[in-house]
Amino acid sequence: MPSDLVFKTMNAAHRVLLKLTGNRVGASFGGMPSLELTTIGRKSGTPRTVMLTSPLQEGEAYVIVASRGGDDTHPAWYLNLLADPAVRVRIVGQPERAMHARVATAEERARMWPLITTRYRNYAGYQKRTTREIPLVLLEPPAPA
């Protein structure tokens, strides 16, 4: 599996590409919209931002996949949002907004996973590489106060 340094380098390169092209290149990959997810570090308490794609959208929710390329460990951003589900999300080309992250229920995952893997086969390959069940996370508008 790629190291943390490789993932961080890929994220930095993605941000540079977006900036240099005025969001014309890198705003989506394979039909999936790119988004910037900001979580609060569960150990550091500082904001941590990562570029991800959303293979499925349902209503106002964006679904993201905690695959880490099929690694046996969860991505740090996933562990961070488990500790604090109040996140910030910026869809490329749109303003950042507060969102609530939650892990898909077993029933939701059973319904959504085939939709995702049929259209984006790389996710099915990631699942074959690991024994952990790759979580799906829904990024939803926060409930009204």
CA–CA distances in Å: residue 115 to residues 24, 55, 79, 101: 27, 9, 24, 20
Distance CA 51, CA 66 (A): 12
Tell me which architecture the domain covering 4-140 has in CATH: Roll (2.30)
Give the pTM.
0.82
pLDDT one digit per residue (tens) for the chain, 145 residues: 555 555 555 545 544 555 545 555 544 556 778 899 999 999 999 999 998 999 999 999 999 999 988 899 999 999 999 999 999 999 887 899 999 999 999 999 999 999 999 999 989 999 999 999 999 999 999 988 7
Domain range list for the chain: 4-140
